[in-house]
Structure 1
C-alpha cells in the first residue's frame, strides 16, 4: 500500500521518513487483505481507518473501505466513499468498478452502466499502451479439432466446498449435452475430495493434478495452463461455480465460425472487465510460456487482491487477444461488440437471475437444521428419490441451529420440491 507523499504531508504524521510510513502501510495492508479474504468486514474497516487517519486521501484504502461498506450492505456509505475517490482521481478504474456494482445493487441501473462503460474505456486505453504483446500466427484458425480431447473446457478446482465441487460435477454432466465436441478438464490439488475426483473421471473429465511448483500459484491461474498445452487446439476457460448454458454455446459456435483467434463474453452491467477470467477462450499456439508468465507476474506482486487473475488477463493477455477477437456483450460496454446470437431456451436459462457467469448457488439457498446442539462437526448426505447418496461432505458448525449449504441450483430445487433430502450425522461434539 505504499504511496508517494510530499515531505509536507509526512510532517503531519508521526513517522520520521517516507520509508517508515510505507513499511507501516504495507504491514497494515497485509492484515487488511487477510480480513477481506476471510470476510471480517468490521475488522477490515478498523484497519483501513488506521490508514485513513494518517492519509485521508489514500485511494487504495478508500476504495477498500467502499468495498467493505458494500459487503456490509451499507450501500449509501459505500456510494458516498466511492464518489469521494472519484473526485480525487476521475480515472481510478478500481473505484469505477466498485461504483458499478454499488449502483447496480442500489438499482441505479443507468448510473451503473455509465461507470461500467467508463471503466472499460479506460482499461482499453491502458491496454493500447502495453508492451506485453505476442504476434499471432499468420494462418487463420481452423475451428474445432475432430478429436474432442483437443477441445478443452478448462477449470481450476480446489477446496472441499460443494459450491465448487458439486457444480463441477453438474457442469461435466451438462457438457455432454451442451458441448459434445468438447472435453472438461479440471486442474486440481489434494484439497479436492477424492470422491469428487472419482465422479469427474467417471464422467470422462480430464483431471490434472498441479505439481508443487504450480500449486504455489494462486489456484485461479491453473486453468490458464491449457493455453500452452501442445496437446490442445482450442480452449474455453470457465468458472467452476457457474453453469454452462446453451446461450454461451451459441456464442462459442459463432466465434468458431468467425476466423478470430480469441473469444470474450460479457453478460451484465457488472461485467466491466476486458477479459472476465471465466468467460473467454481461444486457440493455442499464441502464448507458449504461460506458466512462466504467471509465475513472474505473481512474484512481482506484494499483495494479491481478489481479482488478481483478471488483472493479469487485462495487463498481460488482452493486448495480444485484442488483435483478433470476437466479443459478445449483452450491454455493448465497449461500443464495438456483438449481441449474443439466438439460442435454445432450456431450464438453465430459466434459472432466476440467469446470465452467463452467474454464481449458481445464488439463485436458491438450502439450509439444514442441526438437531444435535453439541455438534461441532457434522457429515451430511444428500439423498435422491431412491435414497441413493448423491454426495456427502463434512461441515464445521457453530452455535447456530441452522446452517446454509452451498448447493447447485438444481439440487436445491429438488430439495425444495421434497424429492431429495439431506441426512446428517455428528462427527465431533
Structure 2
C-alpha cells in the first residue's frame, strides 16, 4: 500500500522515514486483505481507519473502505466515500467500478451506467498504451473443429462448496444440450470431492488435475491454461458458479461466424471490465506461454486482490485480443459493441435476475434446520422424489441451528416446491 508522499506530509506522522511508513502500510494492508477475504467487515474498517488517520487521502485505503461500507449495506456512506476519492483522482478506475456497483444497488441506474462507461473508456485508453502485445496469425480463424474434444469450455474448480461443484455438474449436463459441439474441461486440485470428480467424468467432461507448480497459482487462473494447449483449437472460458445459457450460445455462434480471433461478452451495467474472466473466448495459437505469463505476473504482486484474474486479462491479454475481437454488450458500454442475437427462451433465461455471468445461487436460497444442537459437523443429503441421492456434502456447524446451503437455483426450487428434500446426520459433536 505504498504511496509517494512529501517530507512535509511525513512530518505530520510519527514515522521518521518514508520507508518506515511504507513498511507499516504494507503490514496493515496484508491484514486488511485477510479481513476482506474472510468478510470481516468491521475488522477491515478498523484497519483501514488506521491508515486513513495517517494518510486521509490514501486512494487504495479509501476505495477499500467504500467497498467495506457497501458490503456492510451502508450504501450512502459508501457512495460519499467513493465521491471523495473521485474528487482526488477523477480517473481512478477502481473507484469508478465501485461507484457503478454502489449506484446500481441504490437503484440509481443512469448514474451507475455513467460510471461504468467512464471506467471502460479509461481502461481502453490504458490498454492502447500497453507494450504487452502479441502478433496474431495471418490466417483467418475457420470456426469450430470437427473434433468435439478440440473445442473446450474451460473452468477452474477448487474447494468443496456445492455453489461451485453442483453448478459444475449442472453445466456439464447443460452443455450436452446447449453446446453439443463442445467439451467441458475442469482444472481441479485435490480439494474437490472425489464424488464430484466421478460425476463430471461420467458426463464426459475432461478433468485435469493441476500439478504442484500450477497449483501455486491462484486457482482462478487455471482455466486460462487452455489458451496454450496444442490439443485445443477453440476455447471459451466460464465461471463454475454461473450456468450456461442459450443467450450466450447465440452470441458464441455469432462470433464463430465473424472471422474474429476472440470473443467478449458483457451483460449488465456492472460488467465494466474489458474482459470479464468467465465471459470470453478465442482460438489457440496466439498466447504460446500462458503458464509463464501467469507465473511472472503473480510473482510480481505483493498482494493478490479479489479481481486479480481480471486485472491480468485487462493488462496482459486484452491489448492483443483487441486486435481482432467481437464484443456483445447489452449495455454497449464501450460504444462500439454488438447487441446480443436472438436466442430461444428456456428455463435458464427465466431465472429471476438472469443475465450472462450471473451467480446462480443468488436467485433463491435454501437453509436447513440442524436438529442436533450439539453438532459441530454434519453430512447432508439432497434427495429427489424417488428418495435417490442427488448429492451429499459435509458441513461445519457454528452457533446457528439453521444454516444456509449454497445450492443451484433449480435445486432450491425443487426443495421449495417440496419435491426434493434434505436430511442430515451428525459427524462430530
In the superposition, the TM-score normalised over structure 2's length comes to 1.00
Aligned pairs for 1:361-380 within 5 A: 361-380=361-380
Return the alpha-carbon distance in structure 2 between the equivalents of residues 5 and 301 of structure 1: 22
Q: Which secondary structure does the structure 2 equivalent of 1:153 belong to?
A: strand
For 1:231 and 1:385, the matched residues in 2 are separated by 42
Measured against aligned partners, the alpha-carbon deviations of 1:133-164 in whole angstroms (never above 9, x if no partner) come to: 00000000010000000000000000000000
| Partner Cα separation in structure 2 for residue 381 and residue 138 of structure 1 | 54
SS in 1 for 2:317: helix
User: Structure 1: which 5+ runs fail to align?
Assistant: none
CA distance in 2, matches of 1:311, 1:71: 21
Determine helix, strand or coil for the equivalent of 1:351: coil
Q: Secondary structure at the match of 2:236?
A: strand
Deviation at 1:108, TM superposition (A): 0.1
How big is the shift at 1:398?
A: 1.1
What are structure 2's unaligned runs of at least 5 residues? none
Deviations 1:332-353 (A, max 9, x none): 0000000000000000000000
Cα shift readout 1:1-27 (whole Å, capped 9, x = no counterpart): 000000000000000000000000000
Q: Provide the residue aligned with 1:134 in structure 2.
A: 134
Deviation at 1:132, TM superposition (A): 0.1
CA RMSD of aligned residues (A): 0.3
Cα deviation per residue 1:43-62 (whole Å; 9 max; x = unaligned)?
A: 00000000000000000000
CA offsets, 1:178-237, max 9 Å, x none?
000000000000000000000000000000000000000000000000000000000000
Whole-Å separation in 2 of the counterparts to 1:4 and 1:295: 28
Q: 1:210 — aligned with what?
A: 210
Give 1:261 shift: 0.1
What TM-score results when the alignment is normalised by the length of structure 1?
1.00
Per-residue CA shift, 1:299-319, capped at 9, x if unaligned?
A: 000000000000000000000
Distance in 2, Cα, partners of 1:320 & 1:232: 19
1:367 is paired with a residue whose SS is: strand
Paired with 2:349 and 2:181, the residues of 1 have a C-alpha distance of 21
SS in 1 for 2:259: coil
Q: Which residue of 2 aligns with 1:171?
A: 171
2: distance between equivalents of 1:79 and 1:397?
A: 35
Give deviations 1:283-309, integer Å, cap 9, x for gaps: 000000000000000000000000000
How big is the shift at 1:67?
0.1
Secondary structure of the structure 2 residue equivalent to 1:154 = strand
Map Cα deviations across residues 36-89 of structure 1 (whole Å, 9 max, x no partner): 000000000000000000000000000000000000000000000000000000
Partner of 1:47, secondary structure, is helix
Q: Which position in structure 2 is the counterpart of 1:43?
A: 43
Displacement of 1:124 in angstroms is: 0.1
- CA deviations over 1:232-266 (Å, ceiling 9, x no partner): 00000000000000000000000000000000000
Show structure 1 runs of 4+ deviating over 2 A. Answer: none
Counting matched residue pairs gives 429
Q: Distance in 2 between matches of 1:170 and 1:373?
A: 33
1:399 to partner: Cα distance? 1.5
- In the TM superposition, residue 330 of structure 1 has moved relative to its aligned partner by 0.1
Structure-2 separation of matches of 1:80 and 1:370: 41
Deviation for aligned residue 1:401: 1.3
- Partner of 1:69, secondary structure, is helix
Once residues 2 and 395 of structure 2 are traced to their aligned partners in structure 1, the CA distance between those partners, rounded to angstroms, is 39
SS at match of 2:273: coil
SS at match of 2:399: coil
Q: Partners of 2:7 and 2:233 in 1: how far apart?
A: 56
In the TM superposition, residue 102 of structure 1 has moved relative to its aligned partner by 0.1
Tell me the residue number matched to 1:230: 230
Instruction: Report the secondary structure of 2:374's partner residue.
Output: coil
CA distance in 2, matches of 1:363, 1:26: 38
Cα separation, 2, equivalents of 1:71 and 1:149: 41
Partner Cα separation in structure 2 for residue 34 and residue 105 of structure 1? 25
Deviations 1:105-147 (A, max 9, x none): 0000000000000000000000000000000000000100000
Where 2:328 maps in the other structure, the secondary structure is strand
Cα shift readout 1:269-292 (whole Å, capped 9, x = no counterpart): 000000000000000000000000
